[in-house]
Amino acid sequence: MAKKSKVKLKVDKAEAAERVSKIWPVLNKTYPEAKIALKFGNSLELLIATILSAQCTDVRVNIVAKEVFRKYKSVQDWAAADLEEIESDIKSTGFYRNKALNIQGACMKIIGEYGGEVPGTMEELLTLPGVGRKTANVVLGNAFGVPGVVCDTHVIRLSRRLGLSENGDPVKLEFDLAEIVPKKNWTLFSDLLMFHGRNICKARKPGCESCPISRFCPSANNPALW
């Protein structure tokens, strides 16, 4: 039997912006501890941890990062390291060959083009190997205080369920959310959706009965829209 297609919500941007204004204070009050789950001490560590987080849990990344950040303390350490040794050190995060290549390549470019310092603009970050808009926004928002919309799987799922965007493509969704969320709130709004996605609005079965924003959610208690 063919799998039944999910019903897609039609999104009106004015209504979506109004919905954001209603759910923002509720989520902000519900998750006062909301922040990025990755552990880092500086912009380089956050950049590397975010590259490692692709297709890997933050819990696993934090375990691996704790050890590698003791071993590789600077861009020079990463750039000079034996590539196979880096692969071995990060292997448990998955896709370790590509990640090792990207991390070392990014560090070499940071040394060669940015004076050994992680750059602080979207345009510059996107020139680094392994860095897309999601990674760049994570670094900008959490290391440099520059607002950025981070579209991970939770943000994508919740944005569609909440009728904030019809887009499942992370880049298109980023621009959709940027239009309806005040810029100063971009980073924290992303963190709040991530926390809500992990705790209540889960992929297979959202906890609509205990959801503090269900009254604003057009998908609440409607499996066809999950």
Pick the CATH number of 13-30+148-225 from 1.10.150.20, 1.10.1670.10, 1.20.1250.20, 3.40.109.10: 1.10.1670.10
Using pLDDT thresholds of 50, 70 and 90, give the confidence band for residue 1: very low
Catalytic residue among 134, 176, 183, 205: 134
Task: Look at the chain and count its residues.
Answer: 226
pLDDT, tens only, 182-210: 999 999 999 999 999 999 999 999 999 99
Exposure of 53 in the CB half-sphere (CA atoms within 13 A): 23
Q: What is the pTM of this model?
A: 0.93
Catalytic residue among 35, 73, 152, 202: 152
pLDDT at residue 6, as a whole number: 63
Distances 198 to 48, 79, 178, 193, 215 between C-alpha atoms, Å: 23, 35, 22, 9, 19
**Whole-angstrom Cα distance, residue 89 to residue 92?**
8
- Please say if the pLDDT value at position 2 is more than 90: no
Whether 152 sits among the annotated catalytic residues: the reply is yes
Question: How much is the pLDDT for 221?
Answer: 92
Residue 4 predicted with pLDDT over 50: no
b/e sequence 29-53, b meaning 16+ C-beta within 10 Å: ebbeebebbbebeebbbbbbbbbbb
pLDDT in tens, 100-149: 999 999 999 999 999 999 999 999 999 999 999 999 999 999 999 999 99
Question: Where are the CATH 1.10.340.30 domain residues in the chain?
Answer: 43-143
Decide if pLDDT at 163 tops 80. Answer: yes
Known catalytic residue: 134?
Answer: yes
What is the tens place of the pLDDT at every residue in 8-50? Answer: 778 999 999 999 999 999 999 999 999 999 999 999 999 999 9
- The predicted structure's pLDDT at residue 84: 98
Q: Which CATH superfamily hosts domain 43-143?
A: Hypothetical protein; domain 2 (1.10.340.30)
pLDDT tens digits for range 45-100? 999 999 999 999 999 999 999 999 999 999 999 999 999 999 999 999 999 999 99
Pinpoint the residues of the chain covered by CATH 1.10.1670.10: 13-30+148-225
Q: Which band of pLDDT confidence, cut at 50, 70 and 90, is reported for residue 219?
A: very high
Task: Return d(Cα 166, Cα 20) in angstroms, integer.
Answer: 15
When the pLDDT of each residue in the chain is averaged and rounded to a whole number, the result is 95
